[in-house]
Amino acid sequence: MQRTTVYFAPKLYRALKVKAATTDRGFSELVNEAVQLALREDASDEAAYRRRAKEPSRAFATVLRELRSARLI
């Protein structure tokens, strides 16, 4: 394990302390899990991007125009 200093907004810090106490888990454990989850989501997003990289794209303005024509917005 590597030790570091992280600064939290006071309300976020208190919420994490309460969660750690009420779940009988360590503060560091909760932070590590949150960071791992965020990195897993990033990896998943990157994988999805690579899978879809060659798909044709459409301009957002075109999509809006089509939705308006269909009276969906």
- Residue 8 and residue 17: Cα distance in Å, rounded? 11
> Residue 24: inside a domain, yes or no?
yes
Residue 7 DSSP SS3: coil
What pLDDT, in 10s, does the model give residues 16-35? Answer: 999 999 999 999 999 999 99
Is this prediction's pTM over 0.75? no
What pLDDT does residue 26 have?
A: 96
> Residue 5: inside a domain, yes or no?
no
DSSP for 31-48 reads HHHHHHHHHHHHHHHHHH
> Residue 2: inside a domain, yes or no?
no
- Residue 22 and residue 14: Cα distance in Å, rounded? 12
Domain limits for position 24:
10-69
What pLDDT, in 10s, does the model give residues 32-55? Answer: 999 999 999 999 999 999 999 989
**Structural domain total, the chain:** 1
What pLDDT does residue 20 have?
A: 97
What pLDDT does residue 60 have?
A: 96
